[in-house]
Structure 1
């Protein structure tokens, strides 16, 4: 499973190949009040997410679907380098 990193985390491609454990912590909107499911996942950084804020990463569809209801669209997460 893969993800795109925010510009600070991506650090001019230095983060490519780094692995992160990602855990869903809750919703970002009222659309799906309980979006989290399953436990944490591990993703590999493979790209830049230029539109992501400093506390965001963009999960692949497969990764997102493992930890949250796809109908949520966006979720709150915590992530740590493995």
Structure 2
């Protein structure tokens, strides 16, 4: 898979819960209800949410990459999220 061609990009609202937005984005891509997906709090929420609730300095340039529900997801501290489907 070439990430440039097959990636889906979303802009997250940095004032809203990022974990909930990730779950909704994955559900949208899968065409399913977000409640049918694996709980994201235990998987990513404890790491991802603080990046937006207590953001580091912009100089830190934080980027978090993780796998969730068949996607490799990268989120940057400015709210850019990239979703690559795993094969």
Q: Output the TM-score relative to the length of structure 1.
A: 0.29
Q: Output the TM-score relative to the length of structure 2.
A: 0.28
Instruction: Select the structure with the greater relative contact order (CA < 8 A; seq sep ≥ 6).
Output: 1
Larger radius of gyration, structure 1 or 2?
2
